[in-house]
């Protein structure tokens, strides 16, 4: 209950900071880009709308997670506001959970609005319903939560700038490993195969959440693969959350 109170104030704080203005401008940009792109495409303007919509939702949620998450806990320590909060009957765990839930609320609203705009354009231009569409937006949120927890983890052990840089490196490396793993050279080279396996073990496999191509090109994806993506994502979120709480509980706040 105390975590929800912290989450409420965190959510209100970010709303008052006008961070959600980016949704308005991104929605306008999405409308403009879709219109321009549809003029140069024949027969598939609906897919262009959905492609831009998924891309805008993914990028905006990642930026929110990285740049707001890097200061989510550290700012409270530096401004000494954390000392007043934990002096009351609230634990560090409840405080951290509340801050994270509050920011996840912003991520959810951001994705919900952009998703609504992109789907409206998609259906307006003649797009057909695809059962993978809800999974696509769910995975965008799930990926952003993982990235958020990664940047919080780095912010607890380094400074803000390094936390942002390291998180971007983790994000790009995760996708790079996946792309390299599909090459013939990597498959035929034992050393590279082992390095890729180690990379997949150490880093979050964010490629599990990228199903955009299956929607745009109407390819079939086995439902067990979707289930694996959900289970993997939730498990990784819980793992990162446990590590963050463990470090925060041991962190010297003096």
**Per-residue model confidence as pLDDT tens digits over 25-64:** 777 777 777 767 666 666 677 888 888 888 888 888 998 9
Tokens 């994806």 correspond to 221
Taking only the tens place, the pLDDT of each residue in 100-110 is 999 999 999 98
Q: Has residue 127 got a pLDDT over 90?
A: no
Within 125-222, residue ranges assigned H as helices are 133-157, 160-181, 184-188, 190-202, 212-216
pLDDT of residue 166: 94
Asked if pLDDT for residue 71 goes beyond 80, the answer is yes
Is the pTM higher than 0.85? The answer reads yes
Across the chain, mean pLDDT equals: 84
User: Where does the chain have alpha helices with state H?
Assistant: 2-16, 21-40, 45-69, 74-78, 81-86, 92-124, 133-157, 160-181, 184-188, 190-202, 212-216, 223-250
pLDDT of residue 131: 86
pLDDT confidence bin for 154, thresholds 50/70/90: very high
Name the region of 18 (left: φ>0; alpha: ψ -120 to 50; beta: rest): left
């Amino acid at each position: 209950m105390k975590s929800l109170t912290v989450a409420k104030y965190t959510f209100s704080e970010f709303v008052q900071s006008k961070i959600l203005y980016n949704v308005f401008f991104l929605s306008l940009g999405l409308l403009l880009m879709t219109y321009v792109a549809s003029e140069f495409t024949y027969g598939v303007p609906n897919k262009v709308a959905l492609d831009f919509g998924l891309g805008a939702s993914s990028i905006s949620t990642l930026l929110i997670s990285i740049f707001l998450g890097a200061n989510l806990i550290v700012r409270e320590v530096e401004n000494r506001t954390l000392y007043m909060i934990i002096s009351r009957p609230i634990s560090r765990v409840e405080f951290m959970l509340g801050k994270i839930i509050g920011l996840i609320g912003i991520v959810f609203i951001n994705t919900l609005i952009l998703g609504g705009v992109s789907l409206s354009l998609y259906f307006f231009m003649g797009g057909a319903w695809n059962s993978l569409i809800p999974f696509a937006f769910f995975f965008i949120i799930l990926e952003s939560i993982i990235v958020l927890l990664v940047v919080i983890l780095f912010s607890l052990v380094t400074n803000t700038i390094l936390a942002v840089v390291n998180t971007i490196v983790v994000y790009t490396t995760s996708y790079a490993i996946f792309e390299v793993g599909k090459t013939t050279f990597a498959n035929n080279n034992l050393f590279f195969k082992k390095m890729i396996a180690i990379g997949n073990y150490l880093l979050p496999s964010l490629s599990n959440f990228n199903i955009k191509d299956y929607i745009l090109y109407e390819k079939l994806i086995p439902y067990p693969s979707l289930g694996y993506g959900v289970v993997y994502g939730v498990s990784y979120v819980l793992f990162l959350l446990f590590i963050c709480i463990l470090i925060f509980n041991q962190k010297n706040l003096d």
